[in-house]
A and B are shown apart, each in its own frame.
Chain A
Amino acid sequence: AQSVTQLDSQVPVFEEAPVELRCNYSSSVSVYLFWYVQYPNQGLQLLLKYLSGSTLVKGINGFEAEFNKSQTSFHLRKPSVHISDTAEYFCAVRGLGDDKIIFGKGTRLHILP
């Protein structure tokens, strides 16, 4: 079985500063990894995904994530945040051959003016 740990429940950061949202996973098989974003009272939207190949994955809205197999991590980064990035971010994992995705508990990103 897989599990996902998002290490921070809330992350405050000043506008135009860089941010990193941390995610660690556990799995006995190969995995696919995802980051989703949720704006208030809306569904989740896919930011980026790692399926195979290059460990640095670029997504929408200037976000990127790096898959680190040895550290079982998939941290999300953005070099300069904007007020519109205020949202909740979910890391998720799907094991090879599994029929469902397991989500972390989410990290709320607060952008400070």
Chain B
Amino acid sequence: DGGITQSPKYLFRKEGQNVTLSCEQNLNHDAMYWYRQDPGQGLRLIYYSQIVNDFQKGDIAEGYSVSREKKESFPLTVTSAQKNPTAFYLCASTPTGTYGYTFGSGTRLTVV
């Protein structure tokens, strides 16, 4: 079955460490997105990419980095510069020219 796989589902890290969240899709979608979700704040866009080797900052890109070396993969690194990294992170994708997203099941990151 086609879909988006985010791993791991739960992630614990010590403060000051960088951590990379995985997002892989086998839907042949062109565009991929990373959102952060906090209680009561909805979804806020971190980064997005519409083609391989290109990506754009979203509304809250500070403290995060991404890469898009393959169409199927769009990993997100949460760096030590991100002041409050504990959150639920969602990856999404969509084909070019269509209008809705397909979401992964999310990664819950807890920094202690």
The residues of A that contact B61 with a CB separation of less than 8 Å are none
Contact pick for A46, options B6, B33, B42, B100, CB 8 Å: B100
Q: Is the interface of B mostly helix, strand, loop or mixed?
A: strand
Closest chain A CB from B33 CB (angstroms): 7
Q: Are A43 and B33 in contact (CB under 8 A)?
A: no
How many residue-residue contacts, CB under 8 A, span A and B?
Answer: 52
What residue in chain A is nearest B108 (Cβ atoms)?
A: A41
Contact pick for A43, options B50, B99, B106, CB 8 Å: B106
User: Of A17-25, A64-72, A78-86, A100-108, which stretch is located at the interface?
Assistant: A100-108
What residue in chain B is nearest A101 (Cβ atoms)?
A: B101
Q: Are A100 and B43 in contact (CB under 8 A)?
A: no
Q: How many residues of B contact A (CB 8 A)?
A: 25
Asked whether any CB of chain B lies closer than 8 Å to the CB of A90, the reply is yes
6 A–B contacts, CB within 8 A, in A order: A9-B40, A32-B99, A36-B103, A41-B88, A43-B90, A105-B42
Question: B interface vs A, CB < 8 Å?
Answer: 4, 6, 31, 33, 35, 40-43, 45, 48, 50, 58, 88, 90, 92, 99-106, 108
Give 9 closest A-B pairs by Cβ, nearest first: A43-B103, A105-B42, A103-B43, A44-B103, A43-B105, A32-B99, A103-B42, A43-B106, A43-B104
